[in-house]
Copies of this chain bind each other. A is one copy, B any other.
Amino acid sequence: MLHTFVALVSDKPGVLTRVASLFRRLNINIVSLTVGESERPDVSRMTIVCEAPETAAHRIRASLYKLEITVDVDEVGRSEAVIRELCLIKVAAGPKTRSQIFELSDVFRARVVDLAPESIMLEMTGAASKIEGLIQVLKESDYEILEVSRTGRMAMRRGHHTSRVLKALGTPSSRKPETSDFAAKPEPDEILPNEFPHVHEEEEYDLTEAVDDHGEEA
């Protein structure tokens, strides 16, 4: 099952190494990861998509939250978030085939960002399935795809979520679970170093419930 986590992390050297090693330790495969600037200059926003059993989600989340670089972690489901990806596709096309590529790119709302004598570069944003749709149509229409580059999925919760985010970013002391709807910080011994545990104490901190339990707090 695919899980999507949004983590706000301090923008320090080595952040990526720590997050990547964490997933390596938990033995969970990262399907895609994007990191970029957030609404605060010293905080980066990461979207991590990983393949893991359904029961594993809250343990991943707790482990991420335990990293000292982490300001906040959120797990977002498909229905409650906008999940987009950016893709650049370079297709071989000469003067004769160009107009057909233009038509296709119109239908898929792609944009032409480069045009060379023998190739066209398209830019497209959308859900992964839409991007795969365009790539498949291009392939089946016998166009030669020269290069594909994708950013991986980026997720943002729908609607107005100020207090949730600003609370997390505002004061370091907001990391107390009892004052917010964030996940409770797990006890140190709950993080196993070398393998992903078969979850056996879900009842102790049902983070999924805490996540779903957010409303319009503003």
Contact = CB atoms under 8 A, between A and B. Distances in A.
A21 B24 CA distance: 13
Chain multiplicity (copies): 2
B21 A152 contact: no
B114 A82 contact: yes
A30 B12 CA distance: 10
Interface in A143-197: 144-152, 154-162, 165-166
A88 interface: yes
A38 interface: yes
A78 B3 CA distance: 35
A121 B158 contact: yes
Contacts of A106: none
A148 B166 CA distance: 12
Residue of A21, A32, A88, A158 with most chain B CB atoms under a 10 A cut-off: A88
Interface string A46-78: 010000000000000000000000000000000
A36 to B, nearest CB: 3
Contacts of A20: 16-17, 20
B84 A160 contact: no
B34 A151 contact: yes
B162 A144 contact: yes
